Structure 1
Amino acid sequence: MKYYRDILQIALPAMAENFLNFLMGTVDSYLVAHLGLIAISGVAIANNIISIFQAIFIALGTAASAILANSYSRKSQEKLAVQVVEVLKLSILLGLFLGIISIFAGKDLLLFLGAEESVALAGGVYLAWVGGGILFLALSLSLGAILRSLGKSRLPMYVSLLSNVLNLLFSSIAVFLFQAGIVGVALGTLFSRLIACLILWQQLPLKLRRPSWKVDMELLALALPAAGERLMMRAGDVVVVTLIVSMGTAVVAGNAIGETLTQFNYMPGMGIATALVILVAQARGRGDSEQVRILVKSAYWLSLVWMALISGLVFLFGTFLAGLYTQDSQALAAASLVMFYAFCGTPATAGTLMNTALWQGVGNARLPFYATTLGMWLVRVGLASLLTMALGWGLSGVWLATILDNMFRWVFLSRAFAWREKKG
């Protein structure tokens, strides 16, 4: 019972923060849906690009959590201050680089993915504004990870709540009062993230030092494979989207609506995975391998129960929820299909999330990278291509391949850790 309590103490605020982050995307999608299928399709494809950027910063935050939690458990304040500066430095550099790509190559990226000219134009506008300001999201995610690792697990949640309220307020005013369309939705997101970033920065409990030109190799050794794992995941998703694009604008819109709603399924798992990384890193700092095993088992069952409950509710009320976005029958059918497969794949998704967090917590992000690379490109992309293009299974083929990919990675990572423990 103690381990469940320890996990939930960190996981619940992280779950709430994930919920609020996903809610921001849901609000944006809902507001854009009023502008038509072209707009929602363009923004959906643009969000696949943004999700790649976001995944990189989530990975950086995960690496930061593992390193900082280890130092925090050893009460090494001097080392903590240096590591925090290194995390923020890397976040700023990556945020600026990816922002420039979004501004100058946004529309071309969407055309490359197979979007129609009108869809690419709509999505390119959104990508230029939201992706161009990705620095604010980068810093918010990194600052949140830093504060959680230093024992302030609730603060990022409160800031995310404020950010969502501001996003809803700014975006609604821009769309309904000033008729600003996609640009208005994007600006609402941009300004709300900027404010969140400034608040979190002010709450850092450590006195920051002047950054150096040196690179923290310990951080990079964990961050690069973690970022690579997320990048492979999102890059594979983008390739899969090109398969969905060939099915027509209505299916793309329906898939986007289904993915928007099923994002809530993963919030408990992601929150518990965040807690697991921190707690495993702390246990590793104390040299307590038995606690690591108990933590992983407890985390899996917690995530499975929570994720099954939420995915079941989303599937049960899916038709009604999807109807809030569109009345197109083909789009609604596609959204319902996505929610069905997301519910069926819950056990494998929970297993993949927890075992990935386990390996990152013990300081080995390379193995999840290898597992994701193999699973994504051989199982998900390869099998989805076969099922959709050769066998004509359509969207069902895409999502069946997704479930099988998660099952492969779950088994791969759990067996590898069992072998590692047996080897000693």
Structure 2
Amino acid sequence: MSYATRNMSLWVLAWPIFLEMLLQFALGAADTLMVSRISDDAVAVVGIANQLFNAVNILFMSIANGAGILIAQKLGAGRLDEARTTGMISLKVCTAIGFAVSVLLVAGAGPITRMLQMPEELWPLGETYIATVGGGMTFLAIMSALSAVVRNTGNTRSPMMVGVGINVLHVLMNYVVIYGALGVPQLGLQGVAWSTTISRIIGALLLLYMFRHAFSVRYELRDLRLFDRGLFRETVKLSWPLGVHMSCWCFTQLVLFAMVASLGAAELSARTYMNTLESFCFTIGSAIATAGQIRIAHLYGAGQWKLAYKDSYRVLWIGLAFVQANALLLYGFGGPVLGLFTSDSNIVSIGVSLLALNLLLQPSKMLNMALNSALTGVGDTRSIMWVGIPSMWAVSVGLSFALGFGAGWGLAGIYTAMIVDECVRGFLLLLRWRFHRKRLTGEQPPQPDLQPRTAAYTI
């Protein structure tokens, strides 16, 4: 099915994204459980190394997401050639950066292991894991670029199928190399590292096939030469604020976890378990917001500005309904569920005390995600960055320290600061979105470069 005839309804876009995120979460938990069967040291190495890999992946995702927004807008405006060229630019840039990162991680695995402050007894495991998984970061970069291109044409099912497929394959290969099934010797953490890399190679190849057929005009080898400086500048203009914002969020989360850890082992365990439970609320909200972003970007590019503006509130209210319903379920059944994770009554008690605060945290997150996606869909990524940086550091981190330690509220104080941060960012982004209202609803003429060249399709 081509992008021109694809159903662009919010539900059709959202459910594959939600299913992909949910299954990836479940399979990720299974992956961690299997690695724990090797040793606690193996889990520690994977946990620390993945912080590095996640930070690197932010770079790939920023470029890919910036290109994805531009592709959706160009398709909405009927500019197929520009959309195809942007897709190829994204692929080439991500591949080049991914290759450079892979070389750096393989060549510098030893120094990087020590830089990450791993205990000396973990250095051999750390070097092996970082070199093997890091050597395959090129394929992760390619997957990020290809997934973003395909998803922003409105085809959210294909990336879902590939994402779920390679995660299932990864878990199966882990079982083989960890337990020595099918006559394969037990390879321990090195086998898990190779399992990760091989699954990404297969994922990249599958997405490459889908990428070739993403547009009505199929990519050919000669299209590798496609490049346009203007489109490259547009992509960078959208991407770099997203990268700064995502990096800032990543670092503030590390600081918050360090604060929680300083409160004690019980608080850290409770926060970790709550983070797992909260992800069920967060996942569906994130899927709806992502689908809304794709739809709004298409509408915006097609010149249907008024509908794009109204759609943002539709995304917000639908997301709030689902997220709040899940938060209420978690509030009602969270205690018994926490008891499945641990028998420590102190940890369960701390977790239960946070369930009421979660009723405020999750809708606050949804407000932030919905407005974030709306502004991203129309290309206003700088506002998200300028709002996010001061709020995340001053409110989330600063207020967490003040309430958690200064006022003696502990973990509840950190949760309260997180709620305030989400509300502050969501409210400021709402003001910024309303600032766009006159232009998007026709009360003020749009800028000339926003005018679609042709009527693309009906959404």
TM score, norm. by length of structure 1: 0.86
The residue that corresponds to 2:448 in the other structure is none
The residue that corresponds to 1:51 in the other structure is 54
Q: Structure 1: state its 5+ residue gaps.
A: none
Shift of 1:313: 4.1
Q: Provide the rounded CA distance (Å) in 2 between the counterparts of 1:101 and 1:339.
A: 43
Equivalences for residues 269-348 of structure 1 within 5 A:
269-314=285-330, 316-318=332-334, 327=343, 341-348=357-364
Instruction: Please identify, of 275-284 and 42-51, the stretch whose mean Cα deviation from structure 2 is larger.
Output: 42-51
Q: Is the CA contact 1:244–1:251 (under 8 Å) kept in the aligned structure 2? A: yes
The match for 1:357 among 355, 373, 393 is 373
Equivalences for residues 163-174 of structure 1 within 5 A:
163-174=166-177
Q: Is the CA contact 1:37–1:250 (under 8 Å) kept in the aligned structure 2? A: no
Match status 1:78 vs 2:81: yes
For 1:382, the aligned partner's letter is G
The match for 2:113 among 94, 107, 121 is 107
Equivalences for residues 115-130 of structure 1 within 5 A:
128-130=131-133
Shift of 1:86: 0.9
The 1:406–1:35 alpha-carbon spacing in structure 2 relative to 1, beyond 3 Å, is farther
Q: CA RMSD in A?
A: 3.2
Q: Structure 2: state its 5+ residue gaps.
A: 1-6, 445-459
Q: Provide the rounded CA distance (Å) in 2 between the counterparts of 1:357 and 1:266.
A: 14
Identity of aligned residues (%): 25
The residue that corresponds to 1:190 in the other structure is 197
Q: Provide the rounded CA distance (Å) in 2 between the counterparts of 1:258 and 1:120.
A: 31
TM-superposition CA deviations, 1:155-200 (whole Å, max 9, x none): 1111122112112211222233355444444433332222111101
Shift of 1:40: 4.5
Match status 1:160 vs 2:163: yes
Instruction: Please identify, of 13-22 and 238-247, the stretch whose mean Cα deviation from structure 2 is larger.
Output: 238-247
Q: Provide the rounded CA distance (Å) in 2 between the counterparts of 1:342 and 1:134.
A: 35
The 1:299–1:192 alpha-carbon spacing in structure 2 relative to 1, beyond 3 Å, is same
Count of matched residue positions in the alignment of Structure 1 and Structure 2: 418
Max Rg structure: 2
TM-superposition CA deviations, 1:74-126 (whole Å, max 9, x none): 33232222111111122223333444565535434532xxx766688877765
Match status 1:207 vs 2:223: no
For 2:20, the aligned partner's letter is E
For 1:72, the aligned partner's letter is L
The match for 1:63 among 52, 61, 66 is 66
The 1:91–1:368 alpha-carbon spacing in structure 2 relative to 1, beyond 3 Å, is same
Q: Is the CA contact 2:289–2:369 (under 8 Å) kept in the aligned structure 1? A: yes
The 1:165–1:258 alpha-carbon spacing in structure 2 relative to 1, beyond 3 Å, is same
Q: Provide the rounded CA distance (Å) in 2 between the counterparts of 1:29 and 1:336.
A: 24
Q: Provide the rounded CA distance (Å) in 1 between the counterparts of 2:411 and 2:119.
A: 19
Match status 1:409 vs 2:425: yes
The match for 2:248 among 227, 232, 244 is 232
The match for 1:88 among 86, 91, 98 is 91
Q: Is the CA contact 1:273–1:354 (under 8 Å) kept in the aligned structure 2? A: yes
TM-superposition CA deviations, 1:346-400 (whole Å, max 9, x none): 1110010111111111111000011110111111111122233433433333322
Q: Is the CA contact 2:48–2:116 (under 8 Å) kept in the aligned structure 1? A: yes
The residue that corresponds to 2:398 in the other structure is 382
Match status 1:135 vs 2:142: no
Q: Provide the rounded CA distance (Å) in 2 between the counterparts of 1:56 and 1:300.
A: 28
Q: Is the CA contact 2:75–2:301 (under 8 Å) kept in the aligned structure 1? A: no
The 1:79–1:149 alpha-carbon spacing in structure 2 relative to 1, beyond 3 Å, is same
The residue that corresponds to 1:246 in the other structure is 262
TM-superposition CA deviations, 1:301-338 (whole Å, max 9, x none): 12112223334445555456556655555665666566
Q: SS of 1:210's equivalent?
A: helix
Shift of 1:33: 4.2
The 1:80–1:56 alpha-carbon spacing in structure 2 relative to 1, beyond 3 Å, is same
Q: Provide the rounded CA distance (Å) in 1 between the counterparts of 2:371 and 2:392.
A: 16
Q: SS of 1:246's equivalent?
A: helix
For 1:279, the aligned partner's letter is R
For 1:259, the aligned partner's letter is N
Q: Provide the rounded CA distance (Å) in 2 between the counterparts of 1:324 and 1:179.
A: 30
The residue that corresponds to 2:152 in the other structure is 149
TM-superposition CA deviations, 1:235-289 (whole Å, max 9, x none): 2112223223334556445433432343332222222222222221222122222
For 2:224, the aligned partner's letter is R
Q: Provide the rounded CA distance (Å) in 2 between the counterparts of 1:398 and 1:106.
A: 31
Instruction: Please identify, of 414-423 and 11-20, the stretch whose mean Cα deviation from structure 2 is larger.
Output: 414-423
